[in-house]
C-alpha cells in the first residue's frame, strides 16, 4: 500500500506508516522548518509546500492529514471549520475528491465534533466516502500525558461495499501492554537529549528551539499513527 500525506508537520503519519511497512509517496507542508525535518528523515519523499497551490493526480491507497485546528480547538476563538486556518479543510477535501484514495485518515481536535464535523462528514458523503471516528489519547499507548485527538477513518464506498466492518480496535489487554513495552524501549532516546537545560532561554545554544517546540507540539504521535495504519491493513484484508 502507498501513502500520501497532507498538512504533514514533521511527518508523524509517515513514521507510523514506515513502522507499519507502508511507503509514503509524498508530503505537503508549508512550514520551512518542518520541511527540513522531513527532508532529513524522509529524503525519498516528494515534497510540496502550499496545499492551496497543490494540484495533484497521483493515486495513493491511503491519504492522511491533520488540517489546522486553530479555529476548532478549545484554545482558539471557536470560529470552527469555516475559519481562515481550519477552513483549509476545503483543500483537503478537494484533493480527496480529485485523487480518490481508497482510504483517508484525518486528525484534529476533539472539538471538531461540535465545530464542523457535520460539514466534514457531509463533504465526504457527497463524493462517496463513508466514515468511522474515535477519540484516541496518547495515554492509551503508555505515554504520561493525555493529548486526546479525534481520528476519522474514511473509505471510498465505490471500492469498499461492506460498511459494517469496525475499523478501530480496542487498545486494551495484551495489545496495550505491547504498546507500553515498545514505548519503554525507546523512551530513553528523548527529543530533548541529555544536555537540554532545565529552563528555556534565548541563549542556550540550541538552534531553532521555538520551531522544535512548535513542531513536536503539533505532531501526530507516530505510535498512534502506526496503530491506525495497522487498522487500515486489517480493515483492508477483511473488506477485500
Longest CA–CA separation in the chain, Å: 58
d(CA 54, CA 28): 8
Please write the tens of the pLDDT for every residue from 149-184.
999 999 999 999 766 888 997 765 455 556 555 555
**pLDDT over threshold 80, residue 203:** no
Please write the tens of the pLDDT for every residue from 88-144.
999 999 999 999 999 999 999 999 999 999 999 999 999 999 999 999 998 888 788
Question: What is the average pLDDT score of the chain?
Answer: 87
Catalytic residue among 69, 122, 135, 231: 69
For cell 511497512, what's the residue?
21
Domains of the chain: 2-239 (3.40.50.150)
C-alpha cell at 216: 513536536
User: 69 catalytic, yes or no?
Assistant: yes
Please state the pTM of the whole predicted model.
Answer: 0.87
Please write the tens of the pLDDT for every residue from 12-51.
999 999 999 999 999 999 999 999 999 999 999 999 999 9
Exposed e or buried b per residue across 80-117, where buried means at least 16 C-beta atoms within 10 angstroms of its C-beta? bbebeebbbbebbbbbbeeebbbbbbbbbbbbbeebbb
pLDDT of residue 161: 79
Amino acid at each position: 500500500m502507498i501513502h500520501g500525506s497532507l498538512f504533514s508537520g514533521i511527518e508523524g503519519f509517515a513514521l507510523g506508516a514506515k513502522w507499519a511497512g507502508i511507503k509514503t509517496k509524498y508530503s505537503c507542508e508549508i512550514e520551512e522548518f518542518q520541511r527540513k525535518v522531513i527532508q532529513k528523515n524522509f529524503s525519498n519523499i516528494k515534497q510540496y509546500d502550499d496545499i492551496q497551490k497543490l494540484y495533484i493526480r497521483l493515486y495513493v491507497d491511503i491519504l492522511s492529514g491533520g488540517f489546522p485546528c486553530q479555529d476548532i480547538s478549545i484554545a482558539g476563538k471557536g470560529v470552527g471549520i469555516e475559519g481562515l486556518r481550519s477552513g483549509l479543510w476545503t483543500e483537503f477535501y478537494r484533493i480527496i475528491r480529485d485523487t480518490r484514495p481508497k482510504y483517508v485518515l484525518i486528525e484534529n481536535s476533539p472539538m471538531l465534533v461540535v465545530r464542523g464535523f457535520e460539514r466534514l462528514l457531509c463533504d465526504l458523503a457527497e463524493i462517496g466516502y463513508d466514515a468511522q471516528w474515535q477519540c484516541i489519547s496518547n495515554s492509551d499507548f503508555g505515554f504520561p500525558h493525555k493529548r486526546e485527538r479525534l481520528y476519522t477513518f474514511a473509505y471510498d464506498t465505490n471500492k469498499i461495499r461492506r460498511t459494517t466492518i469496525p475499523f478501530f480496535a480496542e487498545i486494551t489487554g495484551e495489545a496495550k501492554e505491547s504498546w507500553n513495552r515498545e514505548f519503554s524501549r525507546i523512551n530513553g532516546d528523548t527529543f530533548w537529549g541529555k544536555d537540554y537545560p532545565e529552563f528555556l532561554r534565548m541563549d542556550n545554544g540550541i538552534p531553532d528551539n521555538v520551531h522544535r517546540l512548535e513542531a513536536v507540539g503539533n505532531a501526530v504521535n507516530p505510535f498512534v499513527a502506526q496503530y491506525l495504519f495497522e487498522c487500515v491493513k486489517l480493515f483492508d484484508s477483511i473488506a477485500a
